[in-house]
Structure 1
């Protein structure tokens, strides 16, 4: 491999790289997940007990202490607010895990930067795959809790991959952009941590979109998490079909973001070695 050859930036190069290095991506993602729980007594069991504990706390606090209701026409179940809240939180947690870790991905793997033949572009992909693992566990916990409380779950839960995929593509673009930018601007990591916290409260996680004035709801829709959170609740909690037209539009925007992030990463990666 010629180290001075420009790295390809076309959409086909993006998908070819992921496909060609799929085994490496899965191996890195597996190592990432295992390393988080290595040495603990329960090991990977923590990936299940953490969301289970959070859901139990939310159910107790919001359903039995505050007796909160999500909104009119959403049912009388006292536990529904906790389920709806948890559905929003798992989407935000998925986004925050990838984006918060992105600025340090290259910095924490400087040994790979020195290796000319190592495909650095797979690092954000592996990080995303590890986050997908944790999100799947959270969805299983949520679906199990819904089944236990209601005696059934909606068949639309099977559509959750279709809903989450566009967000994953957009996050991939953010991860490529931030992982490269984090090499040159070390303050990015701290800034992103603050922004993801702000997004938690600026997303319809703790409150429904309908609680906002109609003339302000379009501002909330500028948040990339808003649409996916609403659609996730639709298929997981309320048993509704997703907004197909909205998903198509979101997917197109996400693909553009993903490609732009990939291009930025490929154009700037030649400077990693000099900075590190």
Structure 2
């Protein structure tokens, strides 16, 4: 509790660092904030061409929304993923990038990785507004689900912050972490039902018995990935326009609490040695 009070006491510094990240990212660019849409839109076009036209991913229409637009279905999973990967990758290098500040000034170091979370969340909120408008134009009815979408966004932000805190400490002691993380995230996106429906995994799992004679199935292992459940919630709220399964909510809450709790614990234990380690 004492540590949480310290973090709360640094809220003004956290706000200033977040504002610096937001203002500095697109400083002196012509299109400014619109650049935050370029990466997810480019990925959407590539994945739509490869998995929508060549390999025919064919996700089921939204139920009960009736939406059957692959690019929008894709974005409902892609935008949460790009936010998560952005938070984790930028948080990982936040302490090393600010080593001079850490070595010269005394302050709560946790605000550095948390400020990258705030900056990424700002851009993500802008992208999500555009997606919600596009879903509405296509015939979806997102407005009643908007409060739950915000709750889901908050849960994912907490989960991403916890993972980001862990990797920020790892990067201080093992500088290869940043490069290894890029590879991990590339594998992770394909182990998450973002560019293909989870029904493909379910069907493949049903064809096989338990692995090595155990009750463990392919689907069971697959669902250990927390992003599977976050993606499901966003798709069901935004694309399907229906209440997500209660178990999905519970799993996401537990993962968020576990990630932020463990992340803060590890960060707290290593915070005093950061100046020397850097």
TM-score, normalised relative to structure 2: 0.84
1:157 to 132, 138, 146: 146
User: How far is the alpha carbon of 1:207 from its aligned partner?
Assistant: 1.0
Q: RMSD across aligned C-alpha pairs, in angstroms? A: 2.6
Note closer, same or farther for the CA distance 1:39–1:24 as it changes in structure 2 (3 Å cut).
Answer: same
Q: Which moved more, 1:215-224 or 1:58-67?
A: 58-67
1:240 to 227, 239, 242: 242
Aligned residue pairs, count: 264
Aligned to 1:145: 134
State the distance in 1 between where 2:62 and 2:128 align: 24
State the distance in 1 between where 2:106 and 2:140 align: 53
State the distance in 1 between where 2:62 and 2:40 align: 27
Note closer, same or farther for the CA distance 1:113–1:52 as it changes in structure 2 (3 Å cut).
Answer: same
State the distance in 1 between where 2:57 and 2:154 align: 31
Aligned to 2:115: 126
Structure 1 unaligned residues grouped into runs of 5+ = 1-11
Aligned to 1:180: 169
State the distance in 1 between where 2:251 and 2:41 align: 34
User: How far is the alpha carbon of 1:135 from its aligned partner?
Assistant: 1.5
1:14-163 map, 5 Å:
14-48=3-37, 51=40, 69-71=58-60, 80-150=69-139, 152-163=141-152
1:171 has 2:173 as partner: no
Aligned to 1:228: 230
User: How far is the alpha carbon of 1:63 from its aligned partner?
Assistant: 6.0
Question: For each residue in 1:2-41, what CA deviation from the matched residue of structure 2 results, as whole angstroms up to 9, or x when unmatched?
Answer: xxxxxxxxxx234323322222212211211221111211
Note closer, same or farther for the CA distance 1:254–1:40 as it changes in structure 2 (3 Å cut).
Answer: same
Question: For each residue in 1:218-239, what CA deviation from the matched residue of structure 2 results, as whole angstroms up to 9, or x when unmatched?
Answer: 2221112100001100001101
Which SS does the other structure have where 1:242 is aligned? coil
User: How far is the alpha carbon of 1:200 from its aligned partner?
Assistant: 0.7
TM-score, normalised relative to structure 1: 0.85
Structure 2 unaligned residues grouped into runs of 5+ = 207-216
User: How far is the alpha carbon of 1:160 from its aligned partner?
Assistant: 1.0
Q: Is the contact between residue 59 and residue 83 of structure 1 (CA under 8 Å) also seen in structure 2?
A: no
Q: Which moved more, 1:68-77 or 1:128-137?
A: 68-77
Which SS does the other structure have where 1:182 is aligned? helix
